[in-house]
Amino acid sequence: MTGILVPPVAQQAHRGGWLTDTLENMKKSYYEDISNFSLAAEAIVDELKDFIAMFRIGHRLQVKQYPLYRFETRVKSWESIADKLARKDQYKNAASLDDLPDIIGIYIIVELDEDVEKMVRLLEKEKNDLFRFTHIVSLTHYLTAHENGKHSHHFDGIYAWQETRFNFEVQVRSEVENLWSNIEHMSFYKNKVKSRNDRILNRLKEHSYNLLLQADEVLSILRRERMKNDMLDLKEKMMDALEGLFDGIKIRDVEAISGYMYECWAMPFEKMTVEDFEHFFASSVKVDDQAVSELLEVYKPESTHRRLHKYLKDNMTISDSVILRIGIATNEPEAAVEYLLMDMEEACCKSCGEWVDYNDADFFAAKVDMRGDFYCRDCAEKLLKYCEICGNVLTSGKICLSCTSRLSNKKK
């Protein structure tokens, strides 16, 4: 049977009618479900708040009793949905609202740019528990590149409540990023009219964003100074308390332990006396060395922390031991280990992706001009070049400067 040929113009008209019907059905569905979207958004935020609060100590997202993050939420308007369907090629075949991942938007806004990676790491590392303790059944992380070269962190998720599933998107931003995003959205994104001044506007946008980044750096310095001032009195009290309980405690140990206490424990430090601290540490003294060793043995580090975990086991300081004892005594053992690992320097091999331990770092500091790149010992040995005369490591050429100088003197 011969098929009926439909003229191209008729095909286009037919497709246009189909798109119009689809949009009308999606619009009708949107307004019927708008209240459910709003309720789901509130429920997702409430569950994320409770979940993140469980892990924020180990991931250093708290200073004293104050969390370093807050939440905002929105349900995308129908006008924004229709505009997105018209602009984005990936949604040209969307047949229902279920094909859109971000009708519900959740914003986790952290204080500073340095806190963004902490929050992303928490959501990624604790994902299994997220699925276990909440109604979130899927969460996929991806990066989006912006014109200014900055990458923003997004998560596409699914929230399941009884028989209903809601798609949602989480964005993790710093306060500065959030401010810039709002400014850009109002002043540039909604204004689609091109003009000959676009080049000037783009330069002004770039300059404005750089100013905001500088503000973030200043705020980071202010936070560190605030913490130093807050901990001056804390360290004096803790020195007196710890000296009476643990042998061999030195000032650097007190500084490390007080940093852990300040960042991870919601306590009225300014009102506490030396006796209060002694009472708090009393249960930690009873934790023996075997319990600390067993904690480190059973702890399963993520791949990026394996080398550091081994280093911690082999080179534990007094402050490390006390922090782990506090964690065991207060039923927060894994949070204590996580804190110590995140407090250590890390470097990833550019070639194989393995994480460089301290011995390798010492090797590079002694032999190689790093120029911002890190390599594990095996990869470095393959990449390094050596002087053909004396065997010293070269940064360029075939003969080192010392040998070149000696050869020149012999010729004279």
Rounded distance between C-alpha atoms, residue 224 and residue 386, angstroms = 43
Which of 133, 151, 174 is at the close of a domain?
174
Answer yes or no: do 334 and 262 share one domain.
yes
Answer yes or no: do 74 and 37 share one domain.
yes
Per-residue DSSP letter, 189: I
Domain count, the chain: 3
**Strand, helix or coil for residue 185:** helix
Instruction: Tell me, yes or no, whether 310 lies in a domain.
Output: yes
Rounded percentage of the chain residues whose pLDDT exceeds 90: 27
Answer yes or no: do 16 and 158 share one domain.
yes
Rounded distance between C-alpha atoms, residue 193 and residue 205, angstroms = 16
Query: Token pair of 391, please?
Result: 């065997």
Confidence of residue 49 (pLDDT cuts 50, 70, 90): very high
| Residues contacting 112, CB < 8 A, separation 6+ | 68, 174, 175, 176, 216, 219, 220, 223
Instruction: Tell me, yes or no, whether 152 lies in a domain.
Output: yes
Backbone angles phi, psi at 101, to 5 degrees: -85, -10
Answer yes or no: do 43 and 116 share one domain.
yes
- CB distance 158 to 165 below 8 Å: yes
pTM exceeds 0.85, yes or no: no
Answer yes or no: do 136 and 254 share one domain.
no
Using the predicted structure, report yes or no on whether residue 330 has a pLDDT greater than 80: yes
Answer yes or no: do 165 and 73 share one domain.
yes
Answer yes or no: do 372 and 336 share one domain.
no
Instruction: Tell me, yes or no, whether 403 lies in a domain.
Output: yes
* Residue whose pair of structure tokens reads 């601290």 in the numeric block: 277
Using the predicted structure, report yes or no on whether residue 12 has a pLDDT greater than 50: no
Which of 308, 342, 376 is at the close of a domain?
342
Q: Give pLDDT, residue 363.
A: 47
Higher pLDDT, residue 171 or 199: 171
Can you tell me the mean pLDDT for 385-407?
Answer: 69
Answer yes or no: do 337 and 377 share one domain.
no
Range ranked top by mean pLDDT from 12-21, 125-134, 262-271:
125-134
Instruction: Tell me, yes or no, whether 306 lies in a domain.
Output: yes
Q: What is the pLDDT of residues 103-129, one digit of tens each?
A: 999 999 999 988 998 899 899 988 989
Can you tell me the mean pLDDT for 97-102?
Answer: 86
Can you tell me the mean pLDDT for 82-105?
Answer: 84
Answer yes or no: do 48 and 154 share one domain.
yes
Report the 10 Å Cβ neighbour count for 286.
Answer: 10
Q: Give pLDDT, residue 85.
A: 82
Answer yes or no: do 80 and 148 share one domain.
yes
Instruction: Tell me, yes or no, whether 197 lies in a domain.
Output: no
Antiparallel, parallel or unpaired: β 136-145 and 151-161:
antiparallel
Q: Give pLDDT, residue 26.
A: 87
Q: What is the pLDDT of residues 261-293, one digit of tens each?
A: 887 777 778 788 889 989 989 899 999 999 999
Q: What is the pLDDT of residues 337-391, one digit of tens each?
A: 988 887 675 556 667 766 555 445 444 444 444 445 666 667 777 777 777 777 7
Answer yes or no: do 166 and 70 share one domain.
yes
Instruction: Tell me, yes or no, whether 373 lies in a domain.
Output: yes
158-162, 166-170, 378-382: the lowest-pLDDT one: 378-382
Domain carrying residue 316: 229-342
Range ranked top by mean pLDDT from 29-38, 307-316, 359-368:
29-38
Using the predicted structure, report yes or no on whether residue 194 has a pLDDT greater than 80: no
Q: Give pLDDT, residue 298.
A: 94
Can you tell me the mean pLDDT for 169-177?
Answer: 92
Interaxial angle between packed helices 8-55 and 78-87, expressed in degrees from 0 to 180 and rounded to the nearest 10 = 120
Q: Give pLDDT, residue 106.
A: 96
Instruction: Tell me, yes or no, whether 157 lies in a domain.
Output: yes
Q: Give pLDDT, residue 255.
A: 86
Instruction: Tell me, yes or no, whether 272 lies in a domain.
Output: yes
Range ranked top by mean pLDDT from 55-59, 96-100, 327-331:
327-331
Using the predicted structure, report yes or no on whether residue 161 has a pLDDT greater than 80: yes
Answer yes or no: do 130 and 27 share one domain.
yes
Q: What is the pLDDT of residues 64-78, one digit of tens each?
A: 778 999 999 999 999
- CB distance 226 to 66 below 8 Å: no
CATH number at residue 54: 3.30.460.10
Q: Among candidates 136, 101, 141, 134, which has minimal Cα distance to 119?
A: 141
Q: Give pLDDT, residue 309.
A: 87
Which of 149, 174, 199 is at the close of a domain?
174
Using the predicted structure, report yes or no on whether residue 394 has a pLDDT greater than 70: no
Q: Give pLDDT, residue 137.
A: 95
Mean of the per-residue pLDDT values of the chain: 79
